[in-house]
Amino acid sequence: MRPGRLLLTLYIGVIVVVFVAGGLFLSFQVAKGVPAEELRGMAKHVVGNLARWRDDPARLRAELDELSEARVAASLYGPDRRLIASNVTPPLPIGSGEDQPRWSVVREVRDGGRVIAIGCVHMRHPDLRRAAGPIAILAAMMILLVLVIARQVGVPLQRIAGAARRFGRGDLAARAGLHRNDELGEVGRAFDEMADRVTKLMTAQRELMANVSHELQTPLARIQVAVDLMVDGIDDRVKELLPEISRDLGEVERLIDDVMTLSRFDLAHTQGTTVAAPLHREAVAIADLVETAASRFRAQHPGRALVVAVAPALPVLPLDPVLVRRVIDNLLDNARKYSDADAMIGISASPAGRGVSVAVADRGIGIDAADLAQLFTPFFRTDRSRTRSTGGVGLGLVLARRVIEAHGGTIAVDSEVRCGTTVRFELPGPGPAGLAPRTG
């Protein structure tokens, strides 16, 4: 994987830090001077070389001048401790070890055990003023680099952490809002996307409570009226309300069943393979399911025109007949709700590879393009009025998608405002590319 922009910045920063730290180390090493052992070795070599030319004043002076350019002070004495030559004034003294200044070494040169010369060498203390400039530049570079890295990394992390804390305290509008093209930008966008999903989920939950409460009000009110009438002894009026109460209770039961089924699918989805999808598969002829759903629709809505087109010799599929029939029932019911009473509704089933494609089409009000992307969002409804004529809480299509995808299929919606809507789902056939083994 190629490193991102932030990682490249950090890599370059580390390299620069290493070079700067190395430069500072070398500068301080220079400032510390020459180690004692090395100094003694150098002094031995310098004194020995000077002693060679003790009888040649011109060559000895040249050697001392070269030492001066190297910032090395040297004085050469004879065995009687008389000064022969020196490149500093006053000459370096020959004293005891305690009397010698720091950075100075006294060496005797012997020939056959006899002292022929005594040399004193002093390594002058480095001029720290010369090193002050480079050290200051390197230190400034280090400080600047630290500030850049802190701004590039620390500030965005603080911003993400602050947004997370505010969101955790209940501020659902808290977002990181990082507009960067690096890893921290990806983290910020991931947090914002997560916060958007959580906010939508919480909003959907609140809407669910409002929708369910609305759906329960009418049946509960009718039941309360019936109980009051029974208490008052008005049995005839109670008998008139019983069919409506029975129908309302059926809708409430279906609502609760949809919510519970959707919850089981969501649990299976969030926990991965640890929880099996709630399917009870068996070999089913899809044509029979379509015909059964069509017969049920005609019985419940005898005045609606329904056209059924089922291709011959459709394959038998391993599926959950109860859940798939519920999907077809929901699609037919939606087509009825969102089309005029005299508008025709069509349902068809045809082969699709090794599987089957089922489509439900109406010539109703259609769906706005802005709403198409949210159709499979839990509790979303294109009709926000929640009237009794349409009913529902926006779970039908969500449940249909969960059921079809649990079977390994796909579902899609094609709609145009004032022209109608077609919902089509495909179920794969059995085989290596088909459905999973029977579950439940």
Q: What digits encode the pLDDT tens for the residues 366-420?
A: 888 888 877 877 666 665 444 445 555 567 888 899 899 989 999 999 998 889 9
Domain membership flag for residue 230: yes
What is the number of structural domains in the chain? 3
Task: Specify the CATH number for the domain of residue 69.
Answer: 3.30.450
Parent domain of 300: 282-427
Lowest mean pLDDT among 60-69, 147-156, 243-252, 299-308: 147-156
Q: Is there a single domain that holds both residue 267 and residue 299?
A: no
Q: Is there a single domain that holds both residue 262 and residue 326?
A: no
d(C-alpha 398, C-alpha 294), whole Å: 22
d(C-alpha 427, C-alpha 423), whole Å: 14
d(C-alpha 404, C-alpha 435), whole Å: 11
Q: Is there a single domain that holds both residue 214 and residue 331?
A: no
Higher pLDDT residue, 55 or 14? 55
Q: Which of 99, 125, 151 is the last residue of a domain?
A: 125
Domain membership flag for residue 26: no
d(C-alpha 371, C-alpha 415), whole Å: 10
**pLDDT for 32:** 53
Residue whose structure tokens are 């009397």 = 99
Instruction: Tell me the whole-structure pTM to 2 decimals.
Output: 0.52
Residue whose structure tokens are 């630290």 = 146
d(C-alpha 383, C-alpha 389), whole Å: 11
**pLDDT for 113:** 82
Domain membership flag for residue 69: yes
Task: Specify the CATH number for the domain of residue 244.
Answer: 1.10.287
Domain membership flag for residue 9: no
Q: Is there a single domain that holds both residue 270 and residue 326?
A: no
Residue 80 has pLDDT above 80, yes or no: yes
Band of residue 309 on the pLDDT scale cut at 50, 70, 90: very high
Lowest mean pLDDT among 65-69, 201-205, 341-345: 201-205
Domain membership flag for residue 30: no
Domain membership flag for residue 131: no
Residue whose structure tokens are 């009051």 = 228
Residue whose structure tokens are 């006899």 = 114
Is beta strand 355-362 parallel, antiparallel or unpaired with respect to 316-319?
A: unpaired
- Per-residue pLDDT averaged across 56-83, rounded? 89
